[in-house]
């Protein structure tokens, strides 16, 4: 005889929660200076995530993430990108329990130190 656990209802995760998790996880990686705006095109029609450097696409119970980053000049870009991919995927999987289809990192700029006015 098998006993089945009673259903308690369902949990709905707001897209803004996924955006916040992805953004904060990326910013927590050493070498990420800040987020960049999501480039123009169709994304501007969908205001969610445009200003904070994150675009999220949800398909059934899986997430695809696109991050637009500005990196520090003293860091190796490939290492930073891989660390961001791993950290964002881990955070979404652990905090929300959703599968991650991919974390696509777009390096938009390098944060150069301010130059002193001569």
Between 11 and 24, where is the model more confident?
Answer: 24
For the chain, which residues make up each domain, given as ranges?
Answer: 15-110
Mean pLDDT of 96-101: 94
d(CA 50, CA 105): 15
Residue written as tokens 């950290």?
87
d(CA 71, CA 67): 12
pLDDT for res 116: 42
pLDDT score of 118 more than 80? no
CATH architecture of 15-110: 2-Layer Sandwich (3.30)
Residue 11 — pLDDT band, cuts 50, 70, 90?
confident
| In contact, 74 and 32? CB cutoff 8 Å | no
Q: Tens digit of pLDDT for each residue in 45-75? A: 444 544 589 999 998 889 999 999 999 999 9
pLDDT for res 51: 53
Q: How many residues does the chain have?
A: 118
pLDDT for res 56: 92
| In contact, 107 and 81? CB cutoff 8 Å | yes
Task: Pull the structure tokens for residue 69.
Answer: 């980053």
- For the chain, the straight-line distance linking the first and the last C-alpha, in angstroms and rounded, comes to 82
pLDDT score of 6 more than 70? yes
CB atoms < 10 A from the CB of 43, how many?
16
Helix ranges, 1-118 (H): 15-27, 77-96
pLDDT for res 3: 66
């Amino acid at each position: 005889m098998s006993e089945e656990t009673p259903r308690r209802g369902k949990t709905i995760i707001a897209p803004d929660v996924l955006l916040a998790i992805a953004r904060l996880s990326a910013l927590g990686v050493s070498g990420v200076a800040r987020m960049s705006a999501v480039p123009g095109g169709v994304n501007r029609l969908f205001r969610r995530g445009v200003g904070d450097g994150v675009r999220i696409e949800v398909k059934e119970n899986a997430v695809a993430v696109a991050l637009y980053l500005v990196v520090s000049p003293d860091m190796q870009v490939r290492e930073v990108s891989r660390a961001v991919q791993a950290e964002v995927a881990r955070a979404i999987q652990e905090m929300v329990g959703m599968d991650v289809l991919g974390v696509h990192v777009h390096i938009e700029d390098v944060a150069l130190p301010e130059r002193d006015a001569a």
